[in-house]
Structure 1
Amino acid sequence: MGKNNKSVNIAVVGNPNCGKSSLFNLLTGLHQKIGNFPGVTVDKKTGTANLGDGITANVIDLPGTYSLYPRREDEWVTYKLLMQQEPAVKPDIVLLLLDASNLKRNLLFCSQLIDLNYKVVVAMTMGDIAAKKGIKIDVDGLSRELGVPVVPVNPRSEKGIHELKKTLSFAAGYRPAEMEHNFIDNKALAPEAIREIQSKHPGLPSYTALHYLMHHRELDGEENKTVCEIKDRHHFNDTKIQAEEILHRYQKINQILQSTVSEPDPLKKKIFTERIDNILLHRFWGYVILTAVVFLLFQSIFWLASFPMDAIDSGFTQLTSWVDALLPETWWADLLVNGLLAGIGGIVIFIPQIMILFGLISVLEDTGYMARISFLMDKVMRKVGLNGKSVMPMISGFACAIPAIMATRNIENKKERLLTILITPLMSCSARLPVYIILTALVIPDVYYFGFISLQGLVMMGLYLFGFVTALVVSYVLKFLINIQEKSFFILELPIYKAPRWKNVGVTMLEKGKVFLVEAGRIIMIISLIIWFLSSYGPASRMEKLDQKYETIAAANTYGAEDIERNYSAEKLENSYAGILGKAIEPAIAPLGFDWKIGIALITSFAAREVFVATMATLYSVDDADESTLKQKMANATRMDGSKVYTLATGLSLLIFYVLAMQCMATLAIVKRETRTWKWPVFQLVYMTALAYLFSCIVYQLFK
């Protein structure tokens, strides 16, 4: 065994959807951090694990890949690290996850890792699924044939984790064999060329030398030139050699499977997953069910969240009134009540809906249905220049555009990836949800059809669908304008159906609620305090005139004290810095039905869309000192002529504006990082703002 207080680097690798992230989380617990690999935008997830016997492991969770022939950016990250071309990390042990229900495909990658002469430890997952399929595996025999330890594990139930840690601890303590242990005879594929590479790099495994020849462009300038000369001298054909290699590997894999795995007759009854897919992936009923699932998703957001939201709204109204009555009439008390508490109340009320939305999305992912949505939508996506792989980032965009845009790295085709990045912000993210909820509640009647179908829920679903359809139309137009010629293929692995891990769903809901409160709340609080200042103060000359005017009115005793206070608050807000700014942009937004207060909220929304509600809460708290809720204050808001601000026309116009407008600086920043140019984020900002203005204007003119 190894010495005490030893530290080793463990690279966790495997095919996509094999349970890699779950195992990483189990091994590292809370000792994780996320960064970026140098020079690329792919996330690097690392953590520490205690293996026992004084051995600490630095665990690196590498992007999923099917083989050592990378195509996507994230696959190249895994490849370079395993080929030791990544100076920041040198793995001592490679922990490979093997899907027991799909051994043949998984063993290809396993065999390649063995030939790189690493210390390989295999964690075999999905054993329960293999058992349901009637697959029986001789684990000891498989380990013997491969020449590496194989440990059955189940990250969901934490079975086998202790044994895996012991095996990793043992692997950390022994030295690899001096001689190569090859799965296949790699040298025989190109003997002269490999021998010449090895003569320049003594001790280099044959398979690593073969990859030097395959991917010499990844080597530095002089090395690249040398390898090119060797290839030309020996007439090395990349495509031919790769095909021969894969053929030899599968020949041996088939031999191993015949001696270690027994499978049932393929003509036997289909497993549960396949029977369900006959319905859920049906060419007609599949789309009907998908529509029903989306409909229920948005109905549930209203059904489940109404009670906690009402309780929070009422609680903050009472708290604000109590604190206001308790404190003296000073500037700092006004800041606390109308700035701080109004801002907090404007965001906390939406946490139940944010948590419910993420919880339901988590259920869809956990059960395996989310992948089916991609499969169903591939045909539609093809017609607008995308493919089924674009669906996952777009669906993720319903939560947040930033990770959704980062998820486009899985799309190999450059044109399809760029199109997906450009349209993903049209998906209604969770930051828009607070805006949708308060405006829908303001202008859409709270009625139910057939006793359970909410009109507000239908409108909410319509907003999400409108964003989605607009995204498809924009993609259809842009596919003719973006000149990148590259063919693509849609290959998707459908995971089996599983019961959702309710603990995981609960943790996701709590985490997302916390992130929304802390991350978004931090921005919202800063904006709320700035808005309070801009709304409470203005140019000295204006404020002095206003004070003199109302001192004269008060002395004349013409109006009641309450009327004087209300009118003074309204005029003070109009003459404040915020009022001056709002009035300046009001002519431009008047055709959309927006007043100057809405104009201020549109500007502050560039920091984060959900700031709209906090801005309204602050503006109306400064403007009006009554104890009503924000919704009541907005419902009672009037223009100079006495007409209501939030009519059906204005409400719908504002909803459409928020569906289409690019009001998120963080999203623009991430688009710049992913595309490595400001050209595309600027294009997004222009085209989305133009679309928002045009459609909002049309809607307002139609409904007014």
Structure 2
Amino acid sequence: MATNKIHIALVGNPNSGKTSLFNNLTGLNQKVGNFPGVTVDKKSGELDLGMGLKAELIDLPGSYSLYPRRADEWVSYRVLMNQDTEVKADVVVIVADASTLKRNLLFVSQIIDLKIPAVLALTMMDVARKKDIIIDLKGLERELGIPVVPVNPRKNKGIDVLKKAVEATAKHQYRPPAFDFIPNKNLATDAVNEVKEILPHLSDYAAIHHLINHESFLLNAEMQDKIETIEQRNKVQHTRIQAEEIMQRYQRIKQIVQNTITEESPVKKQLIAEKLDRVLLHRFWGYAILLTVLFLLFQSIFWIAQYPMDMIELFFLKASNWFSSWLPDTLLTDLFINGVLAGLSGIFVFVPQIMILFGLITILEETGYMARIGFLTDKIMRKVGLNGKSVMPMISGFACAVPAIMSVRNIENQKERLLTILVTPLMSCSARLPVYTILIALVIPKTYFLGFLSLQGLVMMGLYVFSVVIALVVSYVAKRFIKLKEKSFFILELPLYRHPRYKNVVITMIEKAKIFVFDAGKIIMVISLLLWALSSYGPGNRIEKVNTEYAQRLAAQPQNAELIEKEKQTALLQNSYAGVMGQYIEPVIKPLGYDWKIGIALITSFAAREVFVGTMATLYSVDSDGADEQTLRQKMHAAVKSDGTKVYTLATGVSLMIFYLLAMQCMSTLAIVKRETRSWKWPIIQLVYMTGLAYILSLIAYQLLK
């Protein structure tokens, strides 16, 4: 039997369970790109419907109706109106939340009236049952005129029935209903008739949308002129038509709900979610709980991660010493121990903290609390030029600024979107976490208050809170310079509270760890090996002169061999390419309390912030004789300047943490900002203002604390 292939569009309201259904149907057979012409994610996947029928499933952005406002809603709209050049849907699967069906049916009814082959997939049936909502599925199917299938993607229920319904619809065993959901033609009778004379394949409702949005459709100039003439001649009023349509649809939806849905408890029940929201969204307790949640999150990073980090660090220390004693003293051995092993230790030692951070953030998202944070903070956001929708990208920025900035697309207001893009990189991303960890361990004592509150954890939380405060201040100042006047409204659907799916949490933790190890890890390894080369070789004959000088000193003072060897390693590093680079920028960074080795780390960190630790690991490994029993933290703690004073004092450590907190040291972020704003203007502004802000505040911190 020949294999046929169809294209299925997956649509629905936001938070209707569409993503879960897409993941269930496609599994690992997914691709992610961009829809043509816009920076909106295009997710597609392959699935087998059986009987030789294959399908490509396209996950369209969530929409509330066929009247688009945002760029992502326009993507869905164009596909449904058959106006997309690349995406053509043979069948539409509409996903609707059974527990809030009345609201979801508006979008469903509009798609039905386009006369597209469609199947309705009802999710959240278990939630509906808990609310004592009973849906007459056969009755609903008769009222709508399309197949209705209850599904539970989380438990893999109803998926096979849905596939059969899609297959039957694709083979025209189910046809779009002959009747309209509402009498669409009556909204503009003469105009609709005239449009259908020139475009006879359109339904009455599609003809109305051609009257309203034909300028955005793929029509030739002649057809555009004809529709425009019809519109002007009949004095088509877009707002009146839209308002009348919505009112008529809700009247019909009300009748359908009365006929097909019964609630066994008509008295309004005091649901657990409502009780929780009264506390979690309280104008005082809500903020107190939010701060407590953040406090516990950052305390946990130290509490839980300390032991696996110590074990990983000890493993690499033992491995380094074992290889040093076993391998011959050659250039390749030096490359392996001080380049490869040092780089790997700088990667794997921070995997536990990254996994814990992402695991806890995923739990907050899974339970529904993350959306409450957006609702809770909208009032504060508006005062600085943002809105509640800005919170989600900013919180995502704690993980990584790149996907966080991409998620800014769902903010309709252009000014708020631009301000969110400008300040999101100030949020303390996971790439900064390794830097904070090593520096906090160096300069902040392991003190506990009340026996369980870690001072190191409090400092870590303080850095994250400080990043939020600075982001809000920058937004407040920047809003005065961006001359865009556009009103905005914050509408957020609060998802139901749910138990986190621990399988998803574990998968996310593993995936984020893999991304760090393989993506950031590749950069760290390349930089580590490059640094080893730059630290092992120098310009001209500098290295030869150092070797000659210290060979003579060793011959003259053999009793001081150990001291002379350490001084030689330091002199070799200072005269290497890396040393020369660090000393070249040292006058600029000296007022911040940094030496030339930190200067090298600042340069290499522009590839990725987390490279700081790999840089330090390589520099201090090259600077030693390769046979000591010290970990990286111990080496950095013992580091001294040329005048004998310690490098990593409290003042230097705090200054360095503030610099890494505020500086734009991420080429990937600059690239994504350019892509999202379609201009180099904004990434350049970010680079200048963030680096300047980092330098000034680090300078103040060092001068106050030294």
Q: Give your verdict on TM over 0.5.
A: yes
Normalising TM by the smaller chain, what interval? over 0.9
Q: Determine helix, strand or coil for the equivalent of 1:554.
A: helix
> 1:339 is paired with a residue of what secondary structure?
helix
Aligned to 2:209: 211
Q: Which SS does the other structure have where 1:497 is aligned?
A: coil
Superposed counterparts of 1:450-489, under 5 Å? 450-489=450-489
The CA deviation string for residues 169-208 of structure 1, in whole angstroms up to 9 with x for no partner, is 2222226659854212222211222222222222122211
20, 34, 37: which is aligned to 1:36? Answer: 34
Shift of 1:267: 4.1
In 2, Cα distance between the equivalents of 1:94 and 1:608? Answer: 43
Secondary structure at 1:67's aligned position in 2? coil
Question: Is the partner of 2:75 in helix, strand or coil?
Answer: helix
Match of 2:635 among 625, 633, 636: 633
1:513 paired to 2:513: yes
Once the two structures are superposed, what CA deviation does each residue of 1:657-691 show, in whole Å capped at 9, x if it has no partner?
Answer: 01111100100110111111111110011110011
In 1, distance between residues paired with 2:225 and 2:435? 58
Are 1:180 and 1:205, in contact at CA under 8 Å, matched by a contact in 2? Answer: no
Letter in 2 for 1:654: L
- Residue number in structure 2 paired with 1:492: 492
CA contact (8 A) 2:146 2:176 kept: no
- 1:684 matched to which residue of 2? 686
Query: What is aligned with 1:575?
Result: 575
Secondary structure of the residue that 2:200 maps to in structure 1?
Answer: coil
Deviation (angstroms), 1:322: 1.2
AA aligned to 1:453 is L
CA distance in 1, matches of 2:67, 2:326: 69
Structure 1 pair 438–178 and aligned structure 2 pair: CA distance change class (3 A)? closer
Could you tell me how far 1:118 is from its partner in structure 2? 1.0
Counterpart-to-counterpart distance in 2, 1:177 and 1:364: 43
Q: C-alpha separation between the residues in 2 aligned to 1:491 and 1:559?
A: 77
Q: Letter of the aligned partner of 1:689 in structure 2?
A: T
- Equivalence map 1:333-412=2 (5 Å): 333-412=333-412
- CA offset at residue 221 of structure 1? 5.9
Give the corresponding residue for 2:269: 269
Could you tell me whether the CA contact under 8 Å between 2:115 and 2:176 is conserved in 1? no
Aligned partner of 1:610 in structure 2 is 610
Q: Find the residue that maps to 1:587 and give its secondary structure.
A: helix
Runs of 5+ consecutive residues of structure 1 not aligned to the other structure: none
Shift of 1:520: 0.6
CA contact (8 A) 2:342 2:617 kept: yes
Q: CA deviation at 1:561?
A: 2.4
What do the CA deviations read for 1:2-21 (whole angstroms, capped 9, x no partner)?
x7522111111100011111
How far is the alpha carbon of 1:551 from its aligned partner? Answer: 2.1
SS in 1 for 2:541: helix
Match of 1:436 in 2: 436
Output one character per residue of 1:129-179: Cα deviation in whole Å (capped at 9) or x when no partner: 111222111111111110011111111211111211221222222266598
Map of 1:104-253 to 2, 5 A cutoff?
A: 104-174=102-172, 177=175, 180-219=178-217, 220=219, 222=221, 223-253=223-253
In 2, Cα distance between equivalents of 1:55 and 1:279: 51
Aligned 8 A contact 1:153 1:161 in 2: yes
> Partner of 2:149: helix, strand, or coil?
strand
Distance 1:522 1:33 in 2: 23
**Aligned equivalent of 1:622:** 622
- Residue 645 of structure 2 aligns with an amino acid whose one-letter code is S
The Cα shift of 1:23 comes to 0.7
SS in 2 for 1:124: strand
Amino acid at match of 1:471: A
> In the aligned structure 2, how far is the partner of 1:265 from the partner of 1:604?
64
Aligned counterparts of 1:225 and 1:40: Cα–Cα separation in 2: 26
TM-score of the superposed pair, with normalisation by structure 1: 0.98
Secondary structure at the counterpart of residue 38 of structure 2: coil
CA deviation string 1:487-526 (max 9, x = no partner): 1111111111111001111111111111111111111111
Q: Is residue 12–residue 95 contact of structure 1 (8 Å, CA) maintained in 2?
A: yes
- Code of the aligned partner of 1:652: V
- Structure 2: tracts of 5 or more residues without a match: none
Q: Which residue of 2 aligns with 1:47?
A: 45
2:57 counterpart (59, 82, 85): 59
Name the CA distance, whole Å, in 1 between partners of 2:172 and 2:11: 21
Residue of structure 2 in register with 1:96 after alignment: 94
Deviation at 1:557, TM superposition (A): 2.8
1:460-501 residue CA offsets vs partner (Å, 9 max, x unmatched): 000000000000001111111110000111111111111100
Q: Is the 8 A contact 1:123 1:152 kept in 2?
A: yes
Paired position in structure 2 for 1:279: 279
Q: Residue 56 of structure 2: SS of its match in structure 1?
A: strand
Deviation at residue 365 of structure 1 after TM alignment? 0.5
Once the two structures are superposed, residues 241-265 of structure 1 have per-residue CA deviations (whole angstroms, 9 ceiling, x without a partner) of 1111111111111111110011355
CA-CA distance at 1:560 after TM superposition? 2.5
Q: Distance in 2 between matches of 1:74 and 1:609?
A: 32
* 3-state SS, counterpart of residue 45 of structure 1: strand
Q: Verify the 8 A CA contact 1:12 1:62 in the aligned structure 2.
A: yes
Distance 1:180 1:160 in 2: 27
Other-structure match for 1:666 = 668
Residues 132 and 271, structure 1, Cα contact 8 Å, conserved in 2 = no
Cα distance change on mapping 1:474 and 1:408 into 2, 3 Å: same
Three-state SS of the structure 1 residue aligned to 2:431 is coil
Cα deviation, residue 702, structure 1: 0.6
Counterpart code for 1:494: L
Q: Answer yes or no: is 1:447 the counterpart of 2:447.
A: yes
SS at the partner of 2:232?
helix
- Give secondary structure in 1 for the equivalent of 2:377: helix
Q: For 1:53 and 1:457, how far apart are their aligned partners in 2?
A: 58
Quickly say closer, same or farther: Cα 1:140–1:71, change in 2 above 3 A. Answer: same
* Partner deviation per Cα, 1:51-103 (whole Å, 9 max, x = no partner): 12221110111110101111111111111111111121111110111101111
- Return the letter of the residue paired with 1:60: I
Q: Distance in 2 between matches of 1:357 and 1:450?
A: 24
Residue identity (%):
62
DSSP 3-state at the match of 1:432: helix
3-state SS in 1 of match to 2:489? coil
Residue 479 of structure 2 aligns to a residue in which SS?
helix
